[in-house]
Structure 1
Amino acid sequence: MDIQIHSVEELTNAAPQILEYAGTNRIFLFYGDMGAGKTTLIKALCAQLGVIDEVTSPTFSIVNEYKADGNTVYHFDFYRIKDHDEALDLGYEEYFFSDNYCFIEWPEKISALIPDQYTGVRIAVHDNALRVITVENI
């Protein structure tokens, strides 16, 4: 599924479509360049799920936990990790296999640890305005 948007603010409109498309998948991998809108889209997804806490990038903490309507949402940012061992030390399996939502930025840093089933979300920026969000269930 491809979604075209013309501003970062429109990422909010994509959230319900992405969650519906994902179905029962709870693991979401977010790909895109720095500044493409990954965290902004995750904020919109969290709002759609009922998170009322402030959603911020877990760049330094690696993972943030949010409470939603009867759910827990984990938001990961693996940009700063050096190797897979850091994710292992974090206890990633407890999160990934908890049946809670896991929104993962920079999953390419932990590619060997990704579960077999997930929803991939790629944000490509064209001409600084148009963004194409490609969503795929794996």
Structure 2
Amino acid sequence: MRKTTSTEATKKLGQTLAPYLHEGDVVVLSGDLGAGKTQFVQGVAAGLGITDDVVSPTFNIVIEYSSGSVPLYHFDLYRLEDASELEDVGYYDLVEGDGVAFLEWGEKFPEELPYGYLDVSITVSDDGSRVVRVHSVGDRARQLLCVWSNDSRSHLVKTSSKLN
């Protein structure tokens, strides 16, 4: 868990994850509109050496960024109504492909998520700060969360209580 108090802090948190990402890693991002999901991905992209402007893929459904150390596939599944539409946007090929996949609104289709993924939930507190909660599903995601949380730059803390 981590509390960020600015857009830059949310981006920096994403940037601290980047060095640990490998081909095939999947991160599911959940949170209300405007919570900071795309800002988090912008930080990851910067950490991967991606120089393109990273924007929300709301209208494109998926945007590929290939100028970094590993391709980044940024999905926004908000506008999809049915899991059958995932095939049309290349979801399965890209999630199981040669890069890292970030799935905004991936929780809409839980039965279509891969075996392992990192789940990042971002909520907005009353004071405007963001609370970022992370948990892992599967062995690789557990390893990823372990090394990321042990990185002093991430400032992730284990807690069973809410951060306010």
1:23 CA displacement:
5.5
Residue of structure 2 equivalent to 1:105 = 104
1:92 CA displacement:
1.4
What secondary structure does 2:55 align onto? coil
1:73 CA displacement:
0.7
Contact kept, 8 Å, 1:87 with 1:110, in 2: the verdict is no
Residue of structure 1 equivalent to 2:49 = 50
Q: What amino acid is the match of 1:100? A: G
Q: Structure 1: any 5+ residue segments left out of the alignment?
A: none
Residue of structure 2 equivalent to 1:133 = 132
1:4 CA displacement:
1.1
Q: Percent identity?
A: 35
Two-structure CA RMSD over aligned residues (Å): 1.7
Q: Which has the higher contact order (CA 8 A, sep 6+)?
A: 1
Residue of structure 1 equivalent to 2:85 = 86
Residue of structure 1 equivalent to 2:116 = 117
What secondary structure does 2:53 align onto? coil
Q: Structure 2: any 5+ residue segments left out of the alignment?
A: 138-164
1:17 CA displacement:
3.4
Rate the CA distance shift 1:119–1:68 in 2: closer, same or farther, 3 A: farther
Q: What amino acid is the match of 1:118? A: Y
What secondary structure does 1:33 align onto? coil
**1:12-48 deviations in Å (ceiling 9; x for gaps):** 221243346x655610000101110101111111111
User: TM-score normalised to the size of structure 2?
Assistant: 0.76
Higher strand share: 1
Residue of structure 2 equivalent to 1:11 = 10
1:53-68 map, 5 Å: 53-68=52-67
Contact kept, 8 Å, 2:27 with 2:117, in 1: the verdict is yes
> Between Structure 1 and Structure 2, how many residues are aligned?
136
User: TM-score normalised to the size of structure 1?
Assistant: 0.89
Q: What amino acid is the match of 2:52? A: D
Give the structure with higher Rg (CA).
Answer: 2
Q: Which moved more, 1:35-44 or 1:127-136?
A: 127-136
Q: Distance in 2 between matches of 1:18 and 1:73?
A: 13
Q: Distance in 2 between matches of 1:42 and 1:71?
A: 14
Q: What amino acid is the match of 1:34? A: L
